Amino acid sequence: MAASKHTVLQFNAPSTASLSAKVHPLVILNICDCYVRRPDQAERVIGTLLGSVLPDGTVDVCNSYAVPHTESSEQVALDIEYHHNMLVSHQKVNPKEVIVGWYSTGLGVRGGSALIHDFYSREVPNPVHLTVDTGFGNGEGTIKAYVSVNLALGDLQLAAQFQKIPLDLRMLEAERLGLDILKTTAVDKLPNDLEGMEVTMERLLALIDDVYKYVDDVVEGRVAADNSIGRFIADTVASLPKLSPPAFDKLVNESLQDQLLLLYLSSIIRTQLGLVEKLNTAADQIL
pLDDT in tens, 116-132: 888 888 888 888 989 88
CB distance 189 to 45 below 8 Å: no
Domain 20-174: homologous superfamily in CATH: Cytidine Deaminase, domain 2 (3.40.140.10)
Distances (CA, A) of 195 to 140, 201, 250, 267: 22, 10, 21, 16
Q: Which amino acid is at 105?
A: T
| Closest among 30, 73, 36 to 48, alpha carbons compared | 30
pLDDT in tens, 125-178: 888 989 888 776 655 567 888 888 776 666 666 666 788 888 887 776 666 666
Beta bridge partners of 149: 161
Q: Tell me: pLDDT of 197 over 80.
A: no
Q: Tell me: pLDDT of 186 over 80.
A: no
Domain boundaries, the chain: 20-174, 191-240
Q: Cα–Cα distance between 269 and 151 in angstroms, integer?
A: 65
Q: Which amino acid is at 23?
A: V
Q: Tell me: pLDDT of 247 over 50.
A: yes
Which burial class, exposed, middle or buried, applies to 149 when counting CB atoms under 10 A from its CB (0-12, 13-18, 19+)?
middle
Please tell me the predicted confidence (pLDDT) of residue 17: 54
pLDDT in tens, 96-107: 889 999 999 887
Q: Cα–Cα distance between 238 and 175 in angstroms, integer?
A: 25
Task: Average the pLDDT over 64-91 and give the result.
Answer: 86
The 3-state DSSP class for residue 201 equals helix
Mean pLDDT of the chain: 80
